[in-house]
Amino acid sequence: MKKASKTPSLRTPTGQSKRGAQRARPRASAEESNKTSARKPKLSAGKTVKRSQKPTASAATEVPSIGLDELLTRLADPTVPEAELIPYLTAERDPDFGLAPVLHPNENVRQDTRGAAQARARGDIGLGFLNHVFRDRRRRVFEERLVAKDPRPVLLAEGDSWFQYPIWLKDVVDQLESDYTVLCLSAAGDELRSMVAEAEYRDYLLRLSGQVSFRAMIFSAGGNDVVGSELKELLRQHDPALDAAGHIDGSRWAQKLGEILAGYEAMVAAVHGILPSMPILIHGYDHANPLPHQGFKAPPLDGWLGDPMRARGIPDGPLQLGIVRVMIDGVNDALQTLAGGNRPGGRHPKVFFVDNRGAVAGRWHDELHPLDSGFAEVADRFRAVLHEAGVP
């Protein structure tokens, strides 16, 4: 970019993103990604499973191989359609990344090239390095809009995979980018406690608030703090005499909700300590979709909800759905107590609540993430509350 010198630096004061290796840019392709998944697992490091992407019907001819250096070049170029990148990627679910899809080169990518050797020498190749490239890809779009003095309102986005799902889905931020310029700090699999402890949003606001006119912040967090092994610890062993609420350990759940509220309070205090009048939009997800075991697929479809409930002996079906409903309602009810902007009695007049319950309406890609059409409805609800908060 010839005018790059006029663009505010997007590095944190300490340099590279603290969570950069996890960051992904999710602008995805199809709602039928379930049909493009392979069932051939490859064990990795004893705890993760890689899944190669199965060729789609349109890819009847053999996919031409490319070098790792060429893949990195394409990943870094926002003008390359992400659908063209899928034949070169696979995904795995890793507990160290909050069970988020972690991108890897697949068998169509040659790693014996000079560029691949240079990338290894730089230390670029590691768990989550492609997710980091995707985050920078989205960031380049943000920078280019600033240079072009794009008139769209500027949002700051911090969150989890509802804001940053790697490549296969059009997440909330993808859906909003046609109307807003978004600086997205989100990462698939990120936990609320990590966001608050590292407070990247604070670093960027301190660095950029005098140069960039942020109109609002959107925030999505807490889901990864209560799924997987965390969910198992919040549940009691299955008892046919108990209803859905009875299977939730009340004291542990109350403690977890308290931790979530404390994390949100810390975020609000940090953001409003810098920009006191900036609206902050929060949400508590839709009633999620526990699934029976789905096998090995890319990207993975399960492991967040059904697995930990089955580990407690809770059978697939209505009881699992009921447990999830009770917990999602609990999170939403707790978060509304913060939102004085559009909820009576809310503690913070510049915090606004987006109620996404019912938005997905069965349009689920996996246990936690909507299909593109479901994310589109969620984004519409964010737009409506942005307008309510005075952001056009």
Higher pLDDT, 40 or 11: 11
The string of pLDDT tens digits covering residues 157-201 is 999 999 999 888 999 999 999 999 999 999 888 999 999 999 999
The domains located in the chain, with CATH, are 26-127 (no CATH), 130-388 (3.40.50.1110)
Find the angle CA(196)-CA(370)-CA(36) to the nearest 5 degrees: 115
**Pair 184, 177: CB distance under 8 Å:** no
CA-wise closest residue to 264 among 222, 225, 224, 231: 222
**Cα(273)–Cα(186) distance, integer angstroms:** 21
**Pair 288, 357: CB distance under 8 Å:** no
The conformational region for residue 122 under phi > 0 = left, psi -120 to 50 = alpha, else beta, is alpha
Task: Give the phi and the psi of residue 287 in degrees, each rounded to 5.
Answer: -65, 110
Which pTM was predicted? 0.83
**Cα(138)–Cα(117) distance, integer angstroms:** 26
Is the pLDDT score of 54 beyond 50? Answer: no
Q: Residue 327: what pLDDT?
A: 98
- pLDDT band, very low/low/confident/very high, at 21 (cuts 50, 70, 90): very low
**Owner of token pair 């199965």:** 54
**Cα(378)–Cα(370) distance, integer angstroms:** 9
The string of pLDDT tens digits covering residues 263-300 is 999 999 999 999 999 999 999 999 999 999 998 777 78
Total Cβ atoms within 10 A of residue 256: 23
User: DSSP per residue over 8-77, as a string?
Assistant: PP-SBTTBS-TTGGG----B---TTGGGGEEEEEEEETTTEEEEEEPPPTT--SPPPPEEHHHHHHHHH-
64: which 2 tokens?
């031409």
Q: Taking the mean position of all CA atoms in its chain, how far away is CA 140?
A: 18
Tally of CA atoms within 13 A in the half-sphere of 361 that contains its CB: 8
Total Cβ atoms within 10 A of residue 238: 14
In the chain, the amino acid numbered 23 is R
Q: Residue 213: what pLDDT?
A: 97
Q: Taking the mean position of all CA atoms in its chain, how far away is CA 380?
A: 18
Task: Give the phi and the psi of residue 25 in degrees, each rounded to 5.
Answer: -110, 110
Q: At 353, which helix (H) or strand (E)? A: strand 351-354
Going by DSSP bridges, is the β-strand pair 101-105/48-53 parallel, antiparallel, or unpaired?
unpaired
CA-wise closest residue to 152 among 176, 128, 118: 176
The string of pLDDT tens digits covering residues 104-141 is 899 999 987 666 666 555 555 555 778 888 778 889 99
CA-wise closest residue to 185 among 27, 382, 21, 17: 17
Going by DSSP bridges, is the β-strand pair 48-53/37-44 parallel, antiparallel, or unpaired?
antiparallel
- pLDDT band, very low/low/confident/very high, at 34 (cuts 50, 70, 90): very low
Q: Indicate the length of the chain as a whole number.
A: 392
**Cα(122)–Cα(75) distance, integer angstroms:** 18
Is the pLDDT score of 373 beyond 60? Answer: yes
Task: Quote the strand ranges of 57-184, DSSP E.
Answer: 66-67, 89-93, 101-105, 109-110, 154-159, 181-184
Lowest mean pLDDT among 25-29, 269-273, 348-352: 25-29
